[in-house]
Amino acid sequence: MPYVIAAPCVADYSCVEVCPAQCIAPLPDDAAFDRAEQLFIDPDRCIDCEACVAACPVGAIHEASRLPEQWTHYRELNAAHFRRKP
């Protein structure tokens, strides 16, 4: 089940640090990491371990199918991010 990072994210990057699949973009080595306004979970690389869910201090990470109503548009933002990637 794909996961999505939604609005309450406070960009403390704790999810990036615990992800064993390194599926949260941008990664710390990416040039865009320091400028990132939004983090995205690659559904093709995610192994559904839920480490990011447990690490998030504000509960911003949800299964895509269980996003709270006010954040459902983040599902499409996440999908669009990876459609743009080469």
pLDDT tens, residue by residue, 16-56 = 999 999 999 988 888 888 888 889 999 999 999 999 999 99
Domains contained in the chain, number:
1
CA distance linking residue 20 with residue 52, whole number of Å: 9
| Residue 40 belongs to domain with CATH number | 3.30.70.20
Question: Alpha helices, DSSP H only, in the chain?
Answer: 14-18, 51-55, 73-84
- Domain span at residue 64 reads 3-84
CB neighbourhood size of 49 (10 A):
14
> Is residue 65 a contact partner of residue 4, using CB atoms and an 8 Å limit?
no
> What value does the mean pLDDT take over residues 77-86?
83
Containing 41, the helix (H) or strand (E) segment is strand 40-41
